[in-house]
């Protein structure tokens, strides 16, 4: 398999890792206070508020961001991701759609 890299990837892609549910002796869920972000890869995050896309089920949506990243199986629809530039948040949100390319070994995430 060809290892893919981005020629221009100025941002870092992070994925929110949800903690497993902890329960007390009565069976109530103990709330977790901390968030854990896992580094996935370098990416490019662009503002994208003018283009409308249609999902497979016919739903039309306008994504806030379009993220281009190397092809990886770590990101799927419904995941919560964050693009960072140093310590500054470039874009953040839930992944609406993932498009994977075969030839260029890239994926496009619509957030």
- What is the distance between the alpha carbons of residues 78 and 91, in angstroms, rounded to a whole number? 16
- Domain of 57 in residue numbering reads as 11-110
- Number of other residues whose CB lies within 10 A of the CB of residue 80: 16
- In a domain? residue 2: no
- In a domain? residue 105: yes
pLDDT digits (tens, 9 = 90+) for 87-99: 899 889 999 888 8
- Domain of 56, CATH number, reads 2.40.10
- In a domain? residue 3: no
- What is the distance between the alpha carbons of residues 51 and 64, in angstroms, rounded to a whole number? 9
pLDDT digits (tens, 9 = 90+) for 55-71: 778 888 888 898 988 88
Q: Which of 67, 66, 68 is nearest to 5 (CA)?
A: 68
pLDDT digits (tens, 9 = 90+) for 76-85: 888 999 999 9
Tally of domains in the chain? 1
Give mean pLDDT, residues 27-38: 78
- What is the distance between the alpha carbons of residues 16 and 109, in angstroms, rounded to a whole number? 15
């Amino acid at each position: 398999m060809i290892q893919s890299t981005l020629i221009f990837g100025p941002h870092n892609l992070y994925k929110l890792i949800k903690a497993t549910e902890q329960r007390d002796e009565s069976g109530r869920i103990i709330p977790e206070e901390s968030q854990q972000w896992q580094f996935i890869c370098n990416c490019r995050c662009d503002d994208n508020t003018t283009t409308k896309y249609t999902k497979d089920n016919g739903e039309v949506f306008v994504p806030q961001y379009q993220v281009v990243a190397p092809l990886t199986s770590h990101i799927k629809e419904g995941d919560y991701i964050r693009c960072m530039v140093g310590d500054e948040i470039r874009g953040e949100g839930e992944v609406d759609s993932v498009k994977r390319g075969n030839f260029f070994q890239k994926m496009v995430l619509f957030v």
